[in-house]
Amino acid sequence: MQQDLIATPRQLRTVVGASLIGTMIEWFDFFIYGVASALIFNRLFFPSFEPLVGTLLAFSTYALGFLARPLGGVVFGHFGDRIGRKTLLMISLIMMGASTAAIGLLPTYQQIGLWAPVLLIILRLLQGFAVGGEWGGAVLIVAEIAPARQRGFWTCWPQVGAPAGNLLAAGVFALSTFALSDEQFVAWGWRIPFLLSVLLVAVGWWLRRAVSESPAFRAEAAHGVADFPAAEVIRHKRRALLTGAGLRFGENIAYYVATTFSITYLTEIRGGDRSEALYAVLIGAALECLTMPFFAALSDRYGRKIVYGAGAIFAAIWFFLFFQMLDGGDRTVIIIAVAMAMVAHGAMYGPQAAFIAELFPTRLRYSGASLAYQATSILAGSLAPLIALSLYRWSGGSQAVAIYVVASCLLTAIATCFAKESRGVDLRTIE
C-alpha cells in the first residue's frame, strides 16, 4: 500500500527540516561564489584586465561550476539509485563545504600569479560537482515520503533552501561591506563568507544524521536496481528529460540575471552602491522564501501546469520592465524590480521539485531528476550572467538582455503546455 511508504508527520517534519537546512547550506556555498564574482573576484584573480573584462572572466569561472553539475548529477544519481539517497547527501555536503572553505584560503593573483585563477577554477568545479548531486537527493527523499496530495507543498521546502542560501550569502556579504572599509574587504573581508562554510556544514551534518532512507527506494531496491540508471534514462526517458529541461530553462536564466547579473549591472555598469545592490537581492530572496510554499500549495490544488505556466508568463512580462526600473536609480524601485523578479521565479521554482520528480519511476528517479535539473544549467544558469554582460557590451544597452530573458521564459511556458499534468500521481505507478 502507498500508505506504508509515507512517513509519520514527525518523520516528515524531520526529513523536510534536514533537507531544507542542508540544501540552504550547499546553495549558500554555491551562491557566495556568484556574489564574489560580481563584487570582487575581477580585482583579486584577474587584475590585469579592465573592470568589465575582468568581471567577464570572473563570470566565466563562475560558469564552470555549472559545467560540473551534470557530471555530479550522473555520478551521485547512479549511486543514489543503487545504494540510496541519504549516503550521497552526506557526501555532497562534505565535498561542498571543503571546496568552499578552500576558496576562502586561496592566495590571490598578486601573491602566486597564474596559479591563483587555476586553483580557483579547480575548486569551483568541485563545488559544481557536489551541488550536482545535492538537489536530486534532497528533493527525492522528501517527495518519496510525502502524501501525494501535498507533495508539491512538502517538496518545495528543499527548494526554499536555494533562495534562503542566496539570502544568507548576500546577507553575509552585505554585513561584511557594512562593517569593513573597502580596503579591508578587498584584503581579507571577502574570505569570511567562504570560511563560514565550515561551521554551517557541521550543522548540516548533525541534522542529516537523523534522516532515514526513503521507504519508496527501499521497497523498489528489494526488487532489484538498475545497472546504469543514467543510461536507461537517456535511452528510455528522453521525453521526460526534455520536459524537465524545458521547465528549467527560463526559470534558471531569470534567476541568475535577477540575482547575479543585477549586482554587476547596478555596481559596475550603473555605478551604484554595492550595499544597495546586495540589499535588493536580500529583500527579494526573503520575499521568495515566503511566497514559494504558497505557489507550491497552489500547484497541489490547481495543478502543476497552471501555476508553473503562470509564473513563466509573469516573469516574461516583468523582465520587459526590469532594467528600466534599475536604470531609474531610485532605491525603492530597484528593490521592487528585483523582489518581483524573484517572486515570479518562485512561482516556477516552488512546484518544480514535485513536477520533475513526478516525471521518472523510482528506480531511475535520482538519475533522471538530476540530469533534467542539472544539464539545463549548462545552457541556462551557468551562462546567464556571462551572456547578459556580453549582450550589454555588444548592444550598449539593456534591451538585448531583457529580450534574452523574456525569450527564455516564453520557451519554458511552451514546455509547460506540452508537459503532462502530474498533480497527486502515485509515484509507484510511474513507468
Q: Which residues of the chain have pLDDT under 50?
A: 1-4
Q: Tell me what pLDDT residue 220 has.
A: 63
Query: Residue 72 and residue 125: Cα distance in Å, rounded?
Result: 10
Contacts of 272 (CB under 8 A, 6+ apart): 266, 329
Average confidence score pLDDT of the chain: 84
Q: Tell me what pLDDT residue 56 has.
A: 66
Neighbours of 372 (CB within 10 A): 26
Number of domains in the chain: 1
Phi (first) and psi of residue 358, to 5 degrees: -80, 0
Q: Is position 273 within any domain?
A: yes
Identity at 371, one-letter amino acid code: L
- The residue among 288, 290, 333 whose CA lies nearest residue 315 is 288
Q: Tell me what pLDDT residue 4 has.
A: 45
What would the pLDDT profile of 395-408 be if each residue is shown by its tens digit?
Answer: 988 999 999 999 99
Q: Is position 213 within any domain?
A: no
Q: Is position 101 within any domain?
A: yes
Q: Is position 413 within any domain?
A: yes
Q: Is position 114 within any domain?
A: yes
Contacts 24+ apart (CB under 8 A), 10-17: 11/145, 11/212, 12/142, 12/145, 12/146, 12/154, 14/210, 14/211, 15/141, 15/142, 15/145, 15/211, 15/212, 16/142, 16/154, 16/157, 16/158, 17/207
Q: Tell me what pLDDT residue 305 has.
A: 96
**Interaxial angle between packed helices 274-302 and 331-357, expressed in degrees from 0 to 180 and rounded to the nearest 10:** 40
Q: Tell me what pLDDT residue 1 has.
A: 39
Range of the domain at 84: 2-207+222-429
Q: Is position 424 within any domain?
A: yes
Query: CATH number, domain at 44?
Result: 1.20.1250.20
Q: Is position 212 within any domain?
A: no
Report whether 408 contacts 82 (CB < 8 A).
no
Q: Is position 161 within any domain?
A: yes
DSSP for 355-372, written as a single string:
HHHTTS-GGGHHHHHHHH
